[in-house]
């Protein structure tokens, strides 16, 4: 008799295999999909493992509570982030900031004006880079751009444009309902608002194309 744990493990592995099959062919050799192992992980996120290796990590417990189409579009959103090269990286900025701060303190002690200025300049530049990388408006724009690209990926996998918009919109509504943190919830709300505007433009564009198409002669 199959145990519950064994059955769950098989279900999880089946879902991971299914998601790997949803990767565009050009990503399949260097993007992997795995179950998240952290305590209280996000629903889905990406992590750069190396120069040419990215891993999509999924909290399968929360993931299984979503409808299939919702999962697909949220997965393609992460795929779009990879394609847009907007995955956060552990860059050199934090190390440079630490070095600059340490150098500034040291030069204050030895009173070397030139080295102090250089250390402060390093602090300022690395701090500015950190600010730009973590800027909330920049991150929101990147997420909205990834939503647009996720819609395009969905159409490559057989979704109609209206169904792709509907599925992603439904997924964002579910995340809004399930997210207790106001800042994260507001980000989902703004993404949903941008998605609605995009869907309206796409609908109007399709209507214009139909009206301008030549009618068959009888």
Other beta carbons within 10 Å of 139 = 14
The Cα–Cα gap between 189 and 193 comes to 6
Q: What's the pLDDT tens digit per position in 128-160?
A: 555 555 568 889 999 999 999 999 999 999 999
The Cα–Cα gap between 185 and 173 comes to 10
Cα 117 versus chain centre, distance: 38
Three-state DSSP state, 47 = strand
Q: What's the pLDDT tens digit per position in 155-195?
A: 999 999 999 999 999 999 999 999 999 999 999 999 999 99
Q: With pLDDT > 70 as the criterion, what percentage of the chain qualifies? A: 72
Most distant CA pair in the chain, distance: 93
Q: What's the pLDDT tens digit per position in 41-51?
A: 999 999 888 77
pLDDT recorded at residue 111? 55
The Cα–Cα gap between 154 and 202 comes to 15
Say if CB 34 and CB 12 are below 8 A apart.
no
The CA-CA-CA angle for residues 42, 173, 78, to 5°, reads 45
């Amino acid at each position: 008799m199959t145990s519950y744990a064994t059955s769950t493990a098989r279900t999880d592995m089946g879902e991971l295999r299914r998601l790997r099959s949803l990767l565009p062919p050009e990503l399949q050799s260097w993007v992997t999909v795995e179950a998240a192992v952290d305590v209280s992980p996000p629903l889905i996120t990406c992590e750069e493992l190396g120069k040419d290796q990215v891993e999509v990590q999924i909290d399968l417990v929360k993931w299984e509570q979503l409808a299939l189409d919702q999962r697909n579009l949220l997965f393609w959103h992460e795929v779009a982030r990879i394609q847009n090269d907007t995955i956060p990286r552990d860059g050199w900025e934090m190390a440079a900031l630490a070095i600059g701060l340490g150098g500034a303190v040291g030069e204050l002690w030895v009173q070397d004006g030139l080295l102090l200025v250089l250390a402060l300049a390093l602090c300022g530049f690395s701090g500015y880079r950190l600010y730009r990388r973590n800027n909330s408006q920049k991150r929101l724009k990147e997420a909205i751009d990834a939503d647009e690209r996720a819609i395009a990926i969905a159409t490559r996998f057989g979704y109609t444009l209206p169904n792709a918009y509907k599925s992603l919109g439904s997924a964002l509504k579910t995340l809004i309902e399930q997210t207790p943190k106001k800042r994260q919830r507001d980000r989902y709300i703004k993404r949903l608002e941008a998605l609605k505007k995009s869907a309206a433009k796409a609908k109007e564009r399709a209507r214009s194309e139909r009206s301008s198409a030549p009618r068959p002669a009888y």
